Amino acid sequence: MKRYSFLSLSRHALANHRGWGRAWRKAEPKPAYDVVIVGAGGHGLATAYYLAREHRVASVAVLEKGWLGGGNTGRNTTIVRSNYLRPESIALYELSRSLYETLSGELNFNVMFSPRGVLTLCLTEHELHVMRRHAHAASAAGVTAFMIGRDDIARKEPLLNMGAGARYPVLGALYQPRGGTARHDAVAWGYARAADALGVDIIQNCTVTGIRQADGRITGVETSRGEIAAGAVAVAAAGSTSEVMRMAGLDMPLQSVSLQALVSEPLKPMLDHVIMAGAVHGYISQSDRGELVIGGGADGYVNYSQRGSFAAIERTVAALVELIPAISRIRMMRHWGGVVDMTADRSPIIGPTPVEGLYVNCGWGTGGFKAIPGSGLVFADTIVEGRPHPLAAPFGLDRFLSGAVIDEHAAAAVAH
């Protein structure tokens, strides 16, 4: 890996940047690895990186049926925050958020983490009560997120419709000052480049078609590019998780639905924060390129096509036009969808499975991007130690049996 630095950038600039070479190898699959990770999204790549870096695992492969970061990691609305309700959730998301603070330096790749502040607007009395609980939960967990009033909100975001005639008046907001955004593709590429430099093989265009076991223990995977033996198999396949786990004979409590997003034409800076409006299912922020990045509620029915329906877009944009009238004439440039795996409690599933040597990390639903660094860190630890990392332990698959579910519907914000 050629390190990026002021010196190296200057030197390469003299040759018009033609001398960098590949950011990661085009690795050929080997016959066997210590750990095979299924899915080269942010979570899979981060896991591979921490396996190699923190745990010095000698041989790791990440298998990806498409192109790395081409799933939900490349399709999200780039928000990073940790303003959840349950202490278990806050711990995990705050670990991740704090890793984002120094991630560019860690990976030697600019992930453009921008802690511009997240405003979770309260548009009903009920939301005010709910977000106050979140503020107290944050305080109890040592995370800075607190309630602010109408005057503060109006000062922070003058384009918000705060008038008496607003359909849903802004009553207050939960404000997380060190939440914000990061460049989603850069997170995937940064982890891929750093993992590859540590010897991880990233194998794209390689679909896992079967999971091999013997005596209740994992032995490897079958893929479109041949069989690969593995000491452990870790599935981080988001919307495709149910499919992959069925190859090991396991059912999952997941529903893969479409979550859509759209971006506008580039505009001069007009929104300084991430603005989320749960009651009307719309949220918006402005990227560093000036594009308004807009998202809303998930489409609500199982959908693997990575395309949503126009009805969802219409509802989202209608809500945001009411909230920020200035956007009513802005042209939308691009629109897409992902396949998000939703759990009944809107919390992820991380940990071992009934099959020895098989681990799963999924169920992040509409909120996986913010969790990439933390998730990768605890998942790598879980795989190496053969037991859940303490921060991952509450999110085991067995919680659906014990009843110890972790309900984060409110924290999932717009996309319940």
**Contact footprint for other proteins (CB under 8 A):** 240, 242-243, 251-256, 300-305, 309-311, 344, 400-403
- Min dist. Cβ of residue 206 to other proteins (A): 18
First to last CA, the chain: 41
Q: Which residue, 184, 243, 227, is CA-closest to 43?
A: 184
- Comparing CB distances to other proteins, the nearer of 139 and 224 is 224
Half-sphere CA count of 82, side-chain side, radius 13 A: 29
d(CA 181, CA 122): 21
Q: Which amino acid is at 415?
A: A
Q: What is the secondary structure of 324-369 as a DSSP string?
A: -GGGGGPPEEEEEEEEEEE-TTS--EEEE-SSBTEEEEE--GGG-G
- Min dist. Cβ of residue 341 to other proteins (A): 8
- CA torsion sign for 264, 266, 270, 272 is positive
- Comparing CB distances to other proteins, the nearer of 232 and 250 is 250
- Min dist. Cβ of residue 256 to other proteins (A): 6
Q: Which residues of 380-394 are buried (b: 16+ CB within 10 A; e: fewer)?
A: bbbbbeeebbebbeb
- Comparing CB distances to other proteins, the nearer of 154 and 311 is 311
- Min dist. Cβ of residue 33 to other proteins (A): 26
- Comparing CB distances to other proteins, the nearer of 118 and 206 is 206
- Min dist. Cβ of residue 403 to other proteins (A): 8
What are residue 188's phi and psi, to 5 degrees? -65, -50
- Min dist. Cβ of residue 144 to other proteins (A): 34
- Comparing CB distances to other proteins, the nearer of 190 and 352 is 352
- Comparing CB distances to other proteins, the nearer of 82 and 256 is 256
